[in-house]
Chain A
Amino acid sequence: MLDTRIAEIGTFVIYLIDLALLLLLVGLKTVHRRRVGNHDRRRQEFLGLLSRHVSYDDCIDPITPRMAEDPAFLDALIDVREVLSGHELSNLEDIVAQHGVSAGLTRRLASRFPLGRRLRAAVALAEIGDKSAAPAMILHLSDHEPDIRIECARGLARLKWTPAIDDIVARFAIEETPVRARFADSLVGFGTSATWPLLAYVRVNHRSEDAGPALALRTVGRIRELDAAGSIHDVLAEAPSLEVTIAAVEALGGIASPDSAPRLHGLLADDRWQVRAKSATALGQISESSSILLLSEALRDANFWVRRNSATALARIPDGRTALYAALVGDDPYAADAAAEALADVGELVAARRRVEAGRSVEEPLLAHMESEGPT
């Protein structure tokens, strides 16, 4: 009897706790919904305010320090900034400077807690921070939170704050891959100013590590400063690891300097198929007719990817397709396959078929290939 009573009381207590938790959840959701609604309403008001400041040079609608600290104001500022360019953008930058927006965000970034608030401040600084925030962003490149480090690098790139480049590059050696990749994206944003620090990092470190120097080289390839090609040749001459060699070849392809063609011609004979394949691709990007003969020979390479990439490269080079037509009707079936795929990729086979159907002339090798393939 007593046991039953205790069980009943226990069950009732559990029901009460459940009810209390449910009410708490409903209450929290209501508070959250109201907070979001208030945020959206304030954001709309701030959008109107900022629109007037952007559109009217003589706009005197006040922006108070309290507004400048409001997350809804920051969201509106970021949204407007993303849409505009030119003269109106400088109006926004004046607002940021005059109302101490960066200072407020920097204070929040420097606080210890909570992470969400700090991260929002870092994102806002990345989007709208002015140069007064640059020292703080450099400091927080070594923040314990990776997302904050990423946002700080992004903000420094947007400001093109070149003194930060060395600090960002220095972190290549210690960051994990996802963060390092985002740092590389930021360095591309700096443009050619980042090229030489990146190459210096490669020269110093490629003997002791692979991933960082490889990413640095690929980043140099994305930046595309022509003068960097010579330094990359020097790196290749030091016989780096496979990963670094591949990255160097990719960078040369990205930069596409004709001066790199002879170097890449030599790499078409490398023992490693990956290097041969990547070199073929890079030669296609450089697109020099001096590469046609060697790429034609590479159509007969033992490795599928070397053949494939060589064919693709030939399709890109002016007069390179003549070599592909020859391979189509040559004695090497693997070369013929590679040539056919490359020609198909550029729509040449479809175009040829249509010309045949229209009664127009077509290159003999293409005609022979279509006849061997049969009707489609």
Chain B
Amino acid sequence: MPKILVADDSETIRTLLRTALSRAGYEVETAADGPTAHSMGRDGGFDLIILDQLMPGLLGLDVIEQLRVDGVEAPVLMLTGVDDGTTAAESLDRGAVDYIRKPFEMNELLARIKSRL
């Protein structure tokens, strides 16, 4: 069963994604801040990581960068704000494979995850 890390400081998003992804057959763990996301991403052996940009302690873009430095090759999908084209573009530069804007359609998110796993 593929294992996914969901890192977002919003409890709502963590709860929603944990439920939806579990329903879709994935094993899910969550992180609520950047440093935890980094340490879990580095050590947790995840098949895919979903990262929010604005997290306490360490921004999502910086988490991607550190994970790549640590040799973590799991695909990263960035969650960005609806008007945040800059973050979307920069996340791809730093090693994310895709991004999705909030608010998002769950079906679209699941399809993008499925295409990466």
Enumerate chain A interface residues (CB-CB to B < 8 A).
44, 47-48, 51-52, 54-56, 76, 79-80, 82-88
A47→B105 contact, CB < 8 A: no
Nearest neighbor of A85 in chain B, beta-carbon distance: B103
Task: Write the nearest CB–CB distance from B77 to chain A, whole angstroms.
Answer: 15
Nearest chain A CB to B87 CB, angstrom units: 17
Cβ-defined contact, A54 with B13, below 8 A? no
26 A-B pairs in the complex with CB atoms less than 8 angstroms apart? A48-B15, A48-B19, A51-B15, A51-B16, A51-B18, A51-B20, A55-B16, A55-B20, A55-B106, A56-B23, A76-B12, A79-B12, A80-B12, A80-B16, A83-B13, A83-B16, A83-B104, A84-B16, A84-B106, A85-B105, A86-B105, A86-B106, A86-B107, A86-B108, A87-B105, A88-B107
**How does the 8 Å CB contact mask read for B59-96 relative to A, with 1 for contact and 0 for none?**
00000000000000000000000000000000000000
When the two chains form their complex, are residues B15 and A54 in contact, meaning their CB atoms are under 8 A apart?
no
Q: Which B residues touch A87, using CB under 8 A?
A: 105-107
Task: Name which residue of chain A comes closest to B106, CB basis.
Answer: A88
Task: Judge whether A47 and B12 touch: CB under 8 Å.
Answer: yes
Given contacts A51-B20, A54-B20, A55-B23, contact A88 B105 (CB under 8 A): yes
CA distance in complex: A52, B18 (Å): 10
Q: Which residues of B come within 8 Å of A, CB atoms?
A: 10-13, 15-16, 18-20, 23, 102-108
Query: Which residues of A are found within 8 Å of B23, using beta-carbon distances?
Result: 55-56
Q: How far is the CA of A76 from the CA of B18 in the complex (A)?
A: 16
Partner of B19, one of A52, A76, A82, A83: A52
Provide the bound-state CA to CA distance between A18 and B80, in Å: 52
A84 engages B105 (CB within 8 Å): yes
Chain A residues contacting B106 (CB-CB under 8 Å) are 54-55, 84, 86-88
Assembled-state Cα–Cα distance A52/B21 (Å):
11
Q: Are B15 and A84 in contact (CB under 8 A)?
A: no
List of A residues within 8 angstroms of B20 by Cβ: 51, 54-55
B20's closest neighbor in chain A, by CB? A55
Instruction: Name the residue of chain B whose CB is nearest to the CB of A43.
Output: B11
Tell me the smallest distance from the CB of B6 to a CB of chain A, in Å: 12
Task: Give the complex CA separation of A47 and B15 in angstroms.
Answer: 7
Which residue in chain A gives the minimum CB-CB distance to B21? A55
A290 to chain B, nearest CB (A): 32
Q: A243 vs B71: C-alpha distance in the bound complex, in angstroms? A: 61
Contact present for B102 and A83 (CB under 8 Å): yes
Complex Cα–Cα for A80 and B12 (A): 6
Chain B residues with CB below 8 A from A48, complex form: 15, 19
Q: Quick one: given A44-B11, A47-B11, A83-B10, are A54 and B16 in contact (CB under 8 Å)?
A: yes
| Cα–Cα, bound, A52→B10 (Å) | 17
Nearest Cβ in chain B — how far from A53, in angstroms? 9
A-B residue pairs, 6 tightest by C-beta: A86-B105, A51-B19, A55-B20, A79-B12, A85-B103, A47-B15
**Chain B residues with CB under 8 A of A82:** 12, 103
Residues of chain A contacted by B15 (CB below 8 angstroms): 44, 47-48, 51
Chain B residues with CB below 8 A from A85, complex form = 103-105
Task: Give complex CA distance A311, B20 in Å.
Answer: 54
Assess whether A83 is in contact with B103, with CB atoms less than 8 Å apart: yes
* Closest Cβ neighbor of A84 among chain B residues: B103
Closest B residue to A76 using CB positions? B12
Which of A44, A52, A56, A76 gathers the greatest number of chain B CB atoms within 10 Å?
A52
How close is A59's CB to chain B, nearest CB, in angstroms? Answer: 10
**Nearest A residue (CB) for B12:** A79
Closest A residue by C-beta to B22:
A55
- Across the two chains, which residue of chain A brings its CB closest to B105? A86
Cα-based distance from A14 to B60 in the complex (angstroms): 57
Separation in Å of the B115 CB from the closest CB of chain A? 18
> In the bound complex, what is the Cα–Cα distance between A154 and B102 (angstroms)?
21
| Residue of chain B at shortest CB distance from A80 | B12
Contacts of A86 in B (CB 8 A): 105-108
User: Which of chain B's residues have a CB closer than 8 A to the CB of A56?
Assistant: 23
Complex Cα distance, B32 from A191, in Å, reads: 37
Q: Which residues of A contact B12 (CB under 8 A)?
A: 47, 76, 79-80, 82-83
Complex alpha-carbon distance, A80 and B11, angstroms = 10
Complex alpha-carbon distance, A55 and B28, angstroms: 15
* Additional A-B contacts beyond A56-B23, A85-B103, A86-B105 (17; CB < 8 A): A44-B11, A48-B19, A52-B19, A54-B106, A55-B19, A55-B23, A55-B106, A76-B12, A79-B12, A82-B103, A83-B16, A83-B104, A84-B16, A84-B104, A85-B104, A86-B106, A88-B107
